[in-house]
């Protein structure tokens, strides 16, 4: 039996490990998007289709520049 560790958790099944990694990556992306939106003065909403951003055109441009880094 092969044991793998990821973020302090032990996995013996590759599928469980992949699910945990995908979940952590998605959470990291969402956290970074929220942080970028907040710092540029844009409101962010999570919807069934993805993320929606609301704000003035200047703030949206600032967000686009920040995400382009």
**33 vs 52: CA distance, rounded Å:** 11
Label residue 68 by pLDDT band (50, 70, 90). confident
Q: In the predicted model, what is the mean pLDDT of residues 47-67?
A: 93
Q: What are 8-48's pLDDT values in tens digits?
A: 999 999 899 999 999 999 999 999 999 999 999 999 999 99
Half-sphere exposure of 43 (CA within 13 A, CB side): 5
Helical H segments across the chain, by residue range: 14-40, 57-67
Q: Is the pTM of this model over 0.85?
A: no
**22 vs 65: CA distance, rounded Å:** 26
């Amino acid at each position: 039996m092969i044991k793998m560790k990821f973020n302090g958790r032990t996995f013996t099944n590759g599928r469980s490990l992949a699910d945990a990694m995908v979940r952590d990556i998605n959470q990291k992306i969402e956290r970074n998007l929220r942080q970028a939106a907040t710092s540029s003065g844009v409101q962010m909403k999570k919807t069934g289709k993805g993320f929606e951003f609301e704000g003035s055109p200047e703030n949206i441009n600032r967000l686009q520049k920040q995400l382009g880094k």
